[in-house]
Structure 1
Amino acid sequence: MKTARKRLPFFETHFFGFFIALLVVVFFALINNYTSFFSNIEDKVLDLHFRYKDVYENKSRQEGVYEVAENPNINKDILIVGIDFRTLNRLGRWPFPRYTHAALLNTFSRIQDQSQRERSVFLDIFFNEPADNAIDDVILLESMGENGRVFLETLMDEVPPPKEDATGLFERQNTLIQTHGAINNIQGDWKSMISFPGLQPPLSPYGRKAAGFGHANYLKDADEVFRRQPLIVKSSQLLEEIPLQNITPGFSVDEDHFQRLAWTDETGGQHNIPYPITEKVLEKISAEIDAKSPKRVVDNDGDGEPDESYSIVKLYQDRFLPSITLSLALDYFNKRIDDIEIVLGKQIHIPQPQYFDAEKNIWVPYQMLLKPALYDTDGNEVEAAETKVLHDINIPIDRDGNMLINFMGFPSFATTGSRQTFPVRSYSAYASNPPGLDPAKWPRTRALTNKIVMVGAFARGIADDEKPTPFGLMYGVEIHANALNTILMNKFIHSVPFWVNLLVLAAMVFLVSLLSSRFSTIWAFIALLLLVASLFITASILFDRSALLLEFTTPALASLFAFLSIIAYRAMTEEKDKRRIRSMFGTYVSPKVVDQILANPPELGGVDKELTVFFSDIRGFTTISESMTPQELVKILNRYLTAMTDIVLEHEGTLDKYEGDAIMCFWGAPVSQSDHALRACKCAVQQLEALKKLNAQLPESQRIDIGIGINSGIMTVGNMGSTQRMDYTLIGDNVNLGARLEGTNKAYHTNIIISEYTYGLVKDHVIARELDNIRVKGKNKPVLIYELIDYLE
């Protein structure tokens, strides 16, 4: 039997598994950092986190004391006024005449106690075209001026407007900026932000009458779901198209006022030109533009043939506009756009936010609710609410100014008494019966004190305003409400630090690798499922309780990949080992023992173990062989050896070798057997019984008589031989003693002799007769020997 080259310890599964784990960690960390593959899947996991949020309910603290049943994570000052089916039934088809919106605004502003006014009114309605009846615009503008708290929205487009419209549209935007300001305190790589060359601002008179403005854009993720809002956007106005040859080193660009140069490739992608422009920079970008940018072809003489072609570089004026939710939040905090600091990829900093105390009619430091008040069953407060003053608000944003919206729940219904994450009131309840001009007839209040009133579509079919969110389709105005609430309640979703995600990734992968390389596949797989489930539960709890995002997708998929990799490696290496073991032991031991060896492979080098060795030999074999032809001798010998070997294997012994008519076998290796001595004795007795049956079928001249010697003790067992051929066998003095006992049967006219060492292990289970105390060849110390007669059942 040829020996297989021994595998280096490093390549053993329980060592190599850690190397596989290291490769998996590095591989998945790189994919996670340099591609969006896992982030797209992680967005779906985020949706699950949203859906598994705890629903806030009444909770009994003690007998007769309850918490208020409102969600403490939702700002009580956000109110949606929905243009619902009730409104359509009462006021007619959409869109409404603009005097209807004027009626709504008059209802808000015409109350006797002006300290009980709303904080702001956001009209999620576009006013970028004149009304069919000019008087309607006049009426609405007068109402906006009287109200003084109306915020309007603009829309940014990713495609530039037609040239004939561009000037007028940017003039409208400039009206908004001159009236309400734009963002100038911005740090970071503003050039690389997503550019919006198109825009749909409200008409200039509306822009001047508004109390504030903001864009209403939301950017959908790769799966078409809206989860983020750009709190700031970059509006890019094309100032000039410049031939590339006119760009020279030192070309002046007013970067301090957000001007930049860019060129467009053949796919429409925009590339910024680094500043300052040096000879080296110009040489590099010229090569890129010539290779990737389409040329401008000019027919100067009008003959239909191009006269010249050249590459174009575009000069843009960038302006940074707030989202409508950021504008509303700043107004609520008594802050202006100039007060905030923006660091792209990090945060928007709002210093010293304030809150209007309507009772005292003053602005006070902004406070967050930490714990709601407790009330008894009669409505009496028994424990005051806990609050905390916020000296700063830091809104986390990515490099494009996007904030992840912390959605508070499922979409609301307009019907009173139905599910409402945010309170929703019908537009018609305010616009149907507006007060007149006489203040004496005005109501004292509208119960809108310090409310941010968000007016928008809340019925299907009146506008393309339903968007997919983590909680399903939601009207745009409620998405705005969720984004605004995220800011007002300081409930921002933060990702855990990079090193935490990396540590979790490594811990998961190495733990799975440890289990997969040491336990069976099924148990390792069960452990993998438990680990992944535990990670998901942990991530969900962190998200629910602390709005922390712990990555789940990357460590979960990496753990599965590590599990499959190690199982595959085990299959390749261990299957090879199994084939080697089967070829090594398949002819030595029974199939049952082979299966045990495969389950627990033994140490195949030389080891010392307590074993029982068995020798048997045919007496007078030479005489028997002389009376038969060689063919007859081989036939009878094969019948004898087959019968004897079957009994050895039946008792799970290991067949060592045949030497002519002699048999050598042993018990206790390669699979350990605590009753190895008894197995050998039973085998010997049954062989004699089998021999009687065999002899009954043979002529008297061919009948066989055998002698068996059995000894137990410490022996060296293992692969022995040359590098070309090895056998799994025994050596040692105790092996030699067993061989001597087999020959001793002749002197005592017995068939089975066991040593005192074997007898000491089996004396309670066999019938034996003490024979003698002998000194065998090679042994100075006498050995007590026994004749084995039978064994006890």
Structure 2
Amino acid sequence: MARKRAKIFETKYFGFIIGLFVFLVIFLLDISTSIFTNLNTKATDLQFFLKGLTTATSVQEGVTVTEKNPKISDDIIIVGIDSRSLAKFGKWPFPRSIHASLIDSFTRIKDQGSRESSIFLDVFFIESDRKAAEDARLIASIEQAQTVFIETLLDVGISDYSSHEIMLKRQAVLFERFPGFKNVSGSWQEMRDFMSVQAPLIPYSKVVAGYGHANYVQDVDQIYRRQALITKLSTEIEQIPFKNLQIGFTVDQSQYERLVWYDTKGFVHNIITPITKETLARLEKELATSSPPVIIDTDGDGNPDEQYYLVRKIKDYFVPAITLSLACRYFGVDPSELTVEIGKHIIIHNPTVRDAKTGQRIPYSIPVGKDQFDKDGNLVKAAPRKVLSEIKIPINENGEMVINYMGYRSSTALDGYRTFPVRSYASYAERAPGPNPETWPKTKAVDNKILMVGPFADGIAQDEKPTPYGLMYGIEIHANALNTILMNNFLIPAPKWVEYIILLTFILIICFYTSRYSTLWGFVSVLIGLIILFLGISIIFERNNVVIDFPKPAIAMLLSFVAVVSYRAMTEERDKKMIRATFGKYVSPKVVDQILENPPELGGVDKELTVLFSDIRGFTTLSENMTPQELVNHLNVYLTAMTDLILEYGGTLDKYVGDEIMCFWGAPLPQEDHAILACKCALRQMEKLQELNEQWPEHKRINIGIGLNSGIMTVGNMGSPGRMNYTLMGDNVNLGARLEGTNKQYGTGIIISEFTYGLVKDHFIVRELDNIRVKGKNKPVLIYELIDSIDSLDPPALETGKGKKGRG
């Protein structure tokens, strides 16, 4: 008997173990590599494209009405230095007096209560103009405006030490005027280090209303998706030879000081303070193996006279992004009042906004729906608003916020697509009023707006950067980042535990279907799972700004499908070969295919079956009239015909014993009408034998006897592991064999037992023969001669309905 595989290794159970293994692999890759993080950024880009931003409806030829996205602030306006501005003022960069005129056009209005919130100049003022009067003119306008913000740039390394000190002095002026963050917690020591800065000229720093850095972060695919709202400018305040370090040495972390060492590749390594004995020993080994030494050759002979290693005392300063500075100005909050926890969030407490009617500051609120307008464009009902007691900005370990881009780049064309309002720089700068207040306009319709001034045409610097929506001017990236803060519209990554539940759920679903159904249905389940997952993630992204990882479960589903299918191929194909080898010589190919779909138990099992024995009468006389070769050929014709009928009627061929045939019905596949099929086959064999005999000469004609019995029999593989047969055993099998021989005594062709008769009496014509006691049986058995069928003798291939035969 074949050794059965343990139940757990059956595909329908082991598939779940495969799924758990796939989950573990994906989990380990997720926590130890950035593979899925990088893939997910691409998937998130696709979500941006699918977001419903605005809808435009044509109302007449050449006229469209665009429905505004309620998640875009009304108070952000881009003042673009566009092609019209270049045509008006000539080659870039413009004289600084032109920038002064732009500022004056907003400053010089009669109604000072309807001034802008701020003017951000996305232009660097690092070098003096060749004409001192130009700088003086612009500085005077900035000082008069009291709303102008300018920007700095931070660099990771120090490229020029001669200018480095100058830039630090300039930055110091900004730090003195705008102390910035005072409540920074979390792992600020591990933030990315910026070692140098490009800061504006000191006269500008002394008159601006605020500043911020303009740095953006490129992902590995060079796409700009994040802005560091808080960055760390690290300055070296002391170099300390390692030999001078003592146990207990420390720094003032409350002043954001730390101790570091540089390796040979220039990477910074923090040193935990206060210094302990263990720290000192470990640091000595690290410096000796990975840090460049300081070598002193006092006599100039080329041989070092002294060698030691340095550690450095660093003081960190925190610089806000320009967008965060503009937001704080808009909300009436000083950056020093913010709560910053690196790796978690920045909290803006109690944001307010200036009320246009009263000029007073009121609690800040955002719309939570859409305004309703009539067909003429008049406001019917304003959207409800939600008051924000705080704005919590999610940031990562480097203080970076993911920008929630609101749409494609805006066009300067009047009829072009615009995510944000874009106005031409020239339209303001060319119409700046003079110093006489009597000539000033009443207002410029920019009450409480944040005016973002920057390049908005090709050829002005290199200010186009790749974003999820394609190339975009830097000023519009700033606008998107600022809008993300103002509208409290942050992209929130789903908690890891939620992503892992989704991951495991989809893996197990795919494993369930693939291990229990056909490969085709398994593949269909993968496709359906991917569609459901993607649509669900897209809807959640659009409605709730929650970013759920798509590549991770998508790859896991495909891996699970491939793994389970591969396991099935390795195990079930082996099982199929064994089944084909076992049953291929007993049953028809169609029955084998059914067995493969639902494999039977291969061990011995008890079932109700019908067994048929047939034997040739007068076989000795027949063999004497033919040579052995002729006898073999003659028997093969007979056995082939009989066997074909057995298979045609769904029977299972057990064995040939010389001229005897043994077969049965009801196994390996269950057959409710096993007795009927066996009786029909017996009658059809008699008909077929008559047809054969009519073709043969008298001395080759064959006469047979058939015995049938039904009852509980043991069926299964019998023999040794190396050689076995699928056969029957039991008293009811022996009774069938005895009935075949009984035909000689009664001169009949087919004898059935009372047990078979009880199952077929309504379908066949029989003649009661006798009540006999066969050898090995103590109890008499009533036997019948099977004469004819009431029903049609059509084989199962012609069945109709649920296994029932059509009436003949």
Question: What TM-score range do you get, normalising by the shorter chain?
Answer: over 0.9
Q: Deviations over 1:143-167 (max 9, x none)?
A: 1011111000000111114221111
What secondary structure is seen at the aligned counterpart in 2 of 1:580? helix
- The residue number in structure 1 matching 2:263 is 265
Whether the aligned pair in 1 keeps the contact of 2:105 and 2:428 (CA below 8 Å) is: yes
- The residue number in structure 2 matching 1:402 is 400
**Shift of residue 117 of structure 1?**
0.5
Greater shift, 439-448 or 415-424, is seen at 415-424
- The residue number in structure 1 matching 2:60 is none
Of residues 143, 161, 165 in structure 2, which corresponds to 1:145? 143
2:785 is aligned with 1:786: yes
Of residues 767, 770, 780 in structure 1, which corresponds to 2:767? 770
Greater shift, 123-132 or 644-653, is seen at 644-653
* In structure 2, C-alpha distance between the alignment counterparts of 1:779 and 1:91, rounded to whole Å: 123
Matched pairs, number: 783
What secondary structure is seen at the aligned counterpart in 1 of 2:661? strand
- The residue number in structure 2 matching 1:522 is 520
Greater shift, 717-726 or 173-182, is seen at 717-726
Matches for 1:651-730 after TM superposition, within 5 Å: 651-692=649-690, 694-695=692-693, 700-722=698-720, 725-730=723-728
Q: Deviations over 1:190-236 (max 9, x none)?
A: 11100011211111111111100000000111111111100000111
Of residues 6, 12, 18 in structure 2, which corresponds to 1:14? 12
Whether the aligned pair in 2 keeps the contact of 1:456 and 1:477 (CA below 8 Å) is: yes
Q: Deviations over 1:221-257 (max 9, x none)?
A: 1111111100000111123333322333233423221
* In structure 2, C-alpha distance between the alignment counterparts of 1:345 and 1:359, rounded to whole Å: 40
Letter of the aligned partner of 1:36 in structure 2?
S
Q: Cα distance 1:546–1:523, how it changes in 2: closer, same or farther (>3 A)?
A: same
* In structure 1, C-alpha distance between the alignment counterparts of 2:654 and 2:452, rounded to whole Å: 91
Q: Structure 2 length normalisation: TM-score? A: 0.93
Of residues 330, 353, 376 in structure 1, which corresponds to 2:328? 330
Whether the aligned pair in 2 keeps the contact of 1:759 and 1:786 (CA below 8 Å) is: no
2:355 is aligned with 1:357: yes
Letter of the aligned partner of 1:770 in structure 2?
R
Q: Deviations over 1:671-721 (max 9, x none)?
A: 233443343334333433443455466664443221111233443322234
Of residues 603, 606, 611 in structure 2, which corresponds to 1:605? 603
What secondary structure is seen at the aligned counterpart in 2 of 1:330? helix
2:633 is aligned with 1:645: no
- The residue number in structure 2 matching 1:33 is 31
What secondary structure is seen at the aligned counterpart in 1 of 2:590? helix
Greater shift, 281-290 or 699-708, is seen at 699-708
* In structure 2, C-alpha distance between the alignment counterparts of 1:234 and 1:769, rounded to whole Å: 103
Q: Deviations over 1:726-763 (max 9, x none)?
A: 32222344323322221122122222233455455556
- The residue number in structure 1 matching 2:121 is 123
Unaligned stretches of 5+ residues in structure 2:
58-64, 794-807
Whether the aligned pair in 2 keeps the contact of 1:740 and 1:776 (CA below 8 Å) is: no
Unaligned stretches of 5+ residues in structure 1:
60-66
Q: Deviations over 1:330-352 (max 9, x none)?
A: 00000111110100111101111
Whether the aligned pair in 2 keeps the contact of 1:112 and 1:444 (CA below 8 Å) is: yes
**Shift of residue 393 of structure 1?**
1.0
* In structure 2, C-alpha distance between the alignment counterparts of 1:220 and 1:276, rounded to whole Å: 36
Greater shift, 393-402 or 685-694, is seen at 685-694
Greater shift, 750-759 or 205-214, is seen at 750-759
Matches for 1:17-166 after TM superposition, within 5 Å: 17-57=15-55, 69-166=67-164
Greater shift, 243-252 or 193-202, is seen at 243-252
Matches for 1:722-761 after TM superposition, within 5 Å: 722=720, 725-759=723-757, 761=759
- The residue number in structure 2 matching 1:214 is 212
- The residue number in structure 2 matching 1:63 is none
2:190 is aligned with 1:192: yes
Letter of the aligned partner of 2:574 in structure 1?
K
What secondary structure is seen at the aligned counterpart in 2 of 1:708? strand
* In structure 2, C-alpha distance between the alignment counterparts of 1:730 and 1:208, rounded to whole Å: 104
* In structure 2, C-alpha distance between the alignment counterparts of 1:257 and 1:762, rounded to whole Å: 100
What secondary structure is seen at the aligned counterpart in 1 of 2:233? strand
Matches for 1:237-316 after TM superposition, within 5 Å: 237-316=235-314
What secondary structure is seen at the aligned counterpart in 2 of 1:174? helix
Letter of the aligned partner of 2:350 in structure 1?
Q
Greater shift, 701-710 or 497-506, is seen at 701-710
Whether the aligned pair in 2 keeps the contact of 1:752 and 1:789 (CA below 8 Å) is: no
2:491 is aligned with 1:493: yes
**Shift of residue 439 of structure 1?**
0.3
Whether the aligned pair in 1 keeps the contact of 2:2 and 2:602 (CA below 8 Å) is: no
What secondary structure is seen at the aligned counterpart in 2 of 1:309? strand
* In structure 1, C-alpha distance between the alignment counterparts of 2:730 and 2:2, rounded to whole Å: 25
**Shift of residue 302 of structure 1?**
3.0
Q: Cα distance 1:194–1:700, how it changes in 2: closer, same or farther (>3 A)?
A: same
Q: Deviations over 1:74-132 (max 9, x none)?
A: 11000000011111111111110111101101111000000011100000011111112
- The residue number in structure 1 matching 2:508 is 510
Letter of the aligned partner of 1:411 in structure 2?
R
* In structure 2, C-alpha distance between the alignment counterparts of 1:439 and 1:781, rounded to whole Å: 132
Greater shift, 410-419 or 754-763, is seen at 754-763
Q: Deviations over 1:541-574 (max 9, x none)?
A: 1111111112222122112211211111111111
2:434 is aligned with 1:439: no
* In structure 1, C-alpha distance between the alignment counterparts of 2:727 and 2:462, rounded to whole Å: 85
**Shift of residue 38 of structure 1?**
0.3
- The residue number in structure 2 matching 1:62 is none
Whether the aligned pair in 2 keeps the contact of 1:74 and 1:485 (CA below 8 Å) is: yes
**Shift of residue 590 of structure 1?**
1.9
What secondary structure is seen at the aligned counterpart in 1 of 2:67? coil
Whether the aligned pair in 2 keeps the contact of 1:259 and 1:317 (CA below 8 Å) is: yes
* In structure 1, C-alpha distance between the alignment counterparts of 2:107 and 2:256, rounded to whole Å: 39
Q: Cα distance 1:697–1:296, how it changes in 2: closer, same or farther (>3 A)?
A: farther
What secondary structure is seen at the aligned counterpart in 1 of 2:368? strand
Whether the aligned pair in 2 keeps the contact of 1:737 and 1:776 (CA below 8 Å) is: no
* In structure 1, C-alpha distance between the alignment counterparts of 2:89 and 2:194, rounded to whole Å: 36
**Shift of residue 416 of structure 1?**
1.8
**Shift of residue 641 of structure 1?**
2.6
Greater shift, 200-209 or 601-610, is seen at 601-610
Whether the aligned pair in 2 keeps the contact of 1:232 and 1:402 (CA below 8 Å) is: yes
What secondary structure is seen at the aligned counterpart in 2 of 1:371? coil
Q: Which runs of 4+ in 1 moved over 6 A?
A: none
Letter of the aligned partner of 2:335 in structure 1?
I
Give the percent of matched residue pairs that are identical in Structure 1 and Structure 2: 51
Greater shift, 714-723 or 556-565, is seen at 714-723
Whether the aligned pair in 2 keeps the contact of 1:535 and 1:552 (CA below 8 Å) is: yes
**Shift of residue 535 of structure 1?**
1.2
What secondary structure is seen at the aligned counterpart in 1 of 2:479? helix
* In structure 2, C-alpha distance between the alignment counterparts of 1:221 and 1:381, rounded to whole Å: 42
* In structure 1, C-alpha distance between the alignment counterparts of 2:384 and 2:378, rounded to whole Å: 17
- The residue number in structure 2 matching 1:616 is 614
- The residue number in structure 2 matching 1:587 is 585
Q: Deviations over 1:133-190 (max 9, x none)?
A: 1111111101101111100000011111422111101001101110111322100111
Whether the aligned pair in 2 keeps the contact of 1:161 and 1:199 (CA below 8 Å) is: no
**Shift of residue 490 of structure 1?**
0.6
* In structure 1, C-alpha distance between the alignment counterparts of 2:109 and 2:299, rounded to whole Å: 70
The CA RMSD measured in Å over matched residues stands at 2.2
Letter of the aligned partner of 2:137 in structure 1?
I
* In structure 2, C-alpha distance between the alignment counterparts of 1:386 and 1:686, rounded to whole Å: 86
**Shift of residue 305 of structure 1?**
4.2
Greater shift, 432-441 or 49-58, is seen at 49-58
**Shift of residue 399 of structure 1?**
0.9
